[in-house]
Chain A
Amino acid sequence: EAGVTQSPTHLIKTRGQQATLRCSPISGHTSVYWYQQALGLGLQFLLWYDEGEERNRGNFPPRFSGRQFPNYSSELNVNALELEDSALYLCASSLEGALRNTEAFFGQGTRLTVV
């Protein structure tokens, strides 16, 4: 069974550009979570999608947005890129909404570098 897949693995953008990151959850999982992992800051919660709807978002500016498609895959869009957006972006999926007592499965991440 395929795990959570993220693409691209690496992405280099210049300041002011837009970045699009993609995530395919494990088959049968309806919830997708996005996290930003910047150096020394742990995982910061970005967005939670469940059944095609945005259920919650973390303390990030509106230029961080996304969506979930009918097949439960998800996109994260970052507009007007800033240097401090450079980080590893992790996607996770789970069977039920917001983990509850179920495990979240993580992808390998997309390394975004803004120059």
Chain B
Amino acid sequence: AQSVTQLGSHVSVSEGALVLLRCNYSSSVPPYLFWYVQYPNQGLQLLLKYTSAATLVKGINGFEAEFKKSETSFHLTKPSAHMSDAAEYFCAVSRGPSGGSYIPTFGRGTSLIVHP
């Protein structure tokens, strides 16, 4: 079975500081990996996705993530946080164990808090 672990339910940074949100996955086959962002009272919006092409993936709003197979990680980073980045972030993995089903599995989410 596939699963996702997001380390830290809350991450607090100062405006302008580096953002690092951690995600580790487990999957019996090469995964497809996603990061989504959820602003208050809204649905989820895709930030970026990894689908076995380049291991460093660039997304919207200056975010990027690196797929590290040896560490089974897909951490999300942004060099300089903005106040507008404050939101809930979800990591998701999608790849069925037998190739027939690709139900996406989400982590519990990390709330990013940005201080002025």
Can you show 15 pairs from A to B with CB atoms below 8 A apart? Answer: A40-B9, A41-B108, A42-B90, A45-B104, A45-B105, A55-B101, A58-B103, A90-B43, A90-B44, A98-B101, A99-B32, A99-B104, A103-B49, A105-B46, A106-B43
Query: Chain A, 75-115, contact with B by CB distance < 8 Å: what is the 0/1 string?
Result: 00000000000000010100001111101111111000000
A4: interface (CB < 8 Å): yes
Q: Of the candidates B94, B102, B103, B106, which one forms a contact with A42 in the assembled complex, judged by CB atoms under 8 Å apart?
A: B106
CB distance from A62 to the nearest CB of B (A): 19
Most chain A Cβ neighbours within 10 Å, of B94, B101, B103, B107 = B103
Give the size range of A's interface with the partner.
20 to 34
In the assembled complex, the CB of B5 is this many whole angstroms from the nearest CB of chain A, namely 11
Residue in A closest to B102 when the chains form the complex, CB atoms: A98
B42 interface hit (Cβ, 8 Å): yes
B102 touches A99 (CB 8 A): yes
Q: Give A56 to B32 CA distance when docked, in angstroms.
A: 19
A48 adjacent to chain B (CB < 8 Å):
yes
- B106 touching A101, Cβ below 8 Å: no
Tell me the complex Cα distance, A48–B34, Å.
18
Chain B's closest residue to A3 (CB) is: B43
**Among A33, A43, A105, A107, contact of B90 (Cβ-Cβ < 8 Å):** A43
How far is it, in angstroms, between the C-alpha of A58 and the C-alpha of B96 when the chains are bound? 14
Q: B94: shortest Cβ distance to chain A, in Å?
A: 5
Complex interface residues of chain B between 9 and 29 (CB less than 8 A to chain A)? 9
Given A56-B101, A99-B102, A100-B32, residue A42 in contact with residue B45 (CB < 8 A): no
Whole-angstrom distance between the Cβ of A66 and the nearest chain B Cβ: 15
Which residues from B are CB-within-8-Å of A98? 94, 96, 101-104
Leading 7 A-B pairs by shortest Cβ distance: A98-B102, A106-B43, A42-B108, A101-B51, A43-B106, A106-B44, A99-B94
